[in-house]
Structure 1
Amino acid sequence: MHMSRFADDTALIVVDLQPDFMPGGALACFDGDAIVPAIARLLERRDYGTVVATQDWHPRAHASFAAQHAGRAPFEVIDLHGAPQTLWPEHCVQGTPGAALDARVDWTPADLILRKGTGVQVDSYSAFRENHGPNGARPRTGLAGWLRERGIAEVHVCGLARDVCVLWTAQDAQAEGFRVRFLWDLTRPVAPDGDAPTRQALAQAGIGLG
């Protein structure tokens, strides 16, 4: 029987490792495919007793898509439900090939596949909470409770994108009371200029790099 490398109270969260975030995809992250082999090996080695994979899974008319806002272009920022919202190219539309989990990874070890961004009116960067919704609050996904019921005290985060969904997941994990390790080398940003603010945010939060 294979023994996990990490303690039973430690989980791995693989964020949005999907073709639309890879080079050539609808919302390509810089060098996004470079992390796939290492993440595949990590899952293959069964280093973690608990593995969560998140999957961006948007309705076609999602409010975060620039195409849903007349006269707006991708990467513009608007006010949505009282909070800043970056407008994105259409990406990870439910049931499309670009929304699938990356086929180069054997996802068998994943205990939970968490689909996020499924509501048409609210975006969802973090695995733990959606972005601000129509009532001004950030609804919970239920992941924190699921992890706690499995005895998880520490989470390690990796995936895409380093400066958006992985960062928000790490910050929210810490806010939920988990110890957090940010696996920097197993993440990539939307664009390289996102790295300095991400490092600053992690340092301010006291989140360690793995």
Structure 2
Amino acid sequence: MSFKPALIVVDMQNDFCPPDGSLAVAGGRDVVPLINDLLGSPRFGLKVATQDWHPVDHISFATNHPAPDNKPFESFIEMRNLVGNRPEQTMMQRLWPVHCVQGTKGAEIIDEIDVSKVDIKVKKGMDARVEMYSAFSDSFGNMTSGAGGVNLDLAALLHSQKITDVYVVGLAGDYCVKDTALGSAKAGFTTYVIEEAQRCVDPTSWDGVKQALQRGSVSVVDAQSPEVRRVLES
């Protein structure tokens, strides 16, 4: 099969970027030049940008849970798989500050990203009942397009465009970048995360994230690697 790569730029939104983002990732804007270089490359068959697009009552927002166990970043709640009609299936969900609420400035992609080069925008996390770090499925693995979780089936779109390889960049490396890359690999695409084109909520977690990516058949590559030069050099 011939090489036809896609680029997924994950959640480069105002609320995830300093200095004013409600869930700002340190160094979040530092990745912009490399991401714009990638967006400018004609080698990509499809360029996708994702956005968290949460309702105000989203389950991950600390303000939607009672005190005292509702501290952003610190508190966890037990989340049930209501979307998949399996309420007995649960997982622990970290609580976050309110962020990327639908229609707000915080949910918009930052001005520095060249969105004119983006072919498709994927809005995710629209189902208030469940977390959705990955653009491919929610945290329980449900593809929730029918339930309002995401506005399109990204795996189906990539397959329809004969995409073979997926490059994932953006914010945050330890959450939405990681889960989107793992979802891409699970969907059957050869998948890469470009190390210099991501930043983490918790920078100390990156070594563990890389191990999780590698276990999930995702390659973590650097900006000077042959895999990246292949898409940047025309």
Does TM-score exceed 0.5, indicating one fold?
Answer: yes
Between stretches 84-93 and 45-54, larger displacement belongs to 45-54
What amino acid maps onto 2:14 in structure 1? P
In structure 1, the residue matched to 2:78 is 79
Query: Secondary structure, in 3 states, of the residue corresponding to 2:198?
Result: strand
Q: CA–CA distance in 1 between the matches of 2:101 and 2:143?
A: 21
* Residue 150 of structure 1: how far off its partner (Å): 0.5
In structure 2, the residue matched to 1:51 is 47
1:101 to 94, 98, 109: 109
* Residue 203 of structure 1: how far off its partner (Å): 2.6
RMSD between aligned residues: 1.5
In structure 2, the residue matched to 1:151 is 162
The answer to whether structure 1 residue 12 and structure 2 residue 12 are counterparts is: no
In structure 2, the residue matched to 1:69 is 65
Q: TM-score, normalised by structure 1?
A: 0.90
What amino acid maps onto 1:77 in structure 2? F
Query: Secondary structure, in 3 states, of the residue corresponding to 1:145?
Result: helix
Task: Answer whether contact 2:185 2:217 (CA < 8 A) is retained.
Answer: no
Structure 2: runs of 5+ lacking an equivalent: 81-89, 146-152, 222-234
Task: Answer whether contact 1:57 1:94 (CA < 8 A) is retained.
Answer: yes
Task: Answer whether contact 2:4 2:44 (CA < 8 A) is retained.
Answer: no
Identity of aligned residues (%): 40
* Residue 63 of structure 1: how far off its partner (Å): 1.0
Query: Secondary structure, in 3 states, of the residue corresponding to 1:108?
Result: helix
Listed one character per residue, the Cα deviations across residues 70-125 of structure 1 (whole Å, up to 9, x for unaligned) are 11111222210111211110000111111101111221221110000111111210
Q: CA–CA distance in 1 between the matches of 2:116 and 2:42?
A: 10
Q: CA–CA distance in 1 between the matches of 2:110 and 2:96?
A: 20
2:56 to 44, 60, 65: 60
1:179–1:140 distance in 2 versus 1, CA, 3 Å: farther
Structure 1: runs of 5+ lacking an equivalent: 1-6
Q: CA–CA distance in 1 between the matches of 2:185 and 2:205?
A: 21
User: What is the total number of aligned residue pairs between the two structures?
Assistant: 200
Q: CA–CA distance in 1 between the matches of 2:76 and 2:26?
A: 20
The answer to whether structure 1 residue 26 and structure 2 residue 22 are counterparts is: yes
Q: CA–CA distance in 2 between the matches of 1:23 and 1:204?
A: 31
Q: TM-score, normalised by structure 2?
A: 0.81
What amino acid maps onto 2:71 in structure 1? A
Q: CA–CA distance in 2 between the matches of 1:203 and 1:73?
A: 32
* Residue 140 of structure 1: how far off its partner (Å): 4.7
What amino acid maps onto 2:107 in structure 1? A
Task: Answer whether contact 1:131 1:139 (CA < 8 A) is retained.
Answer: no
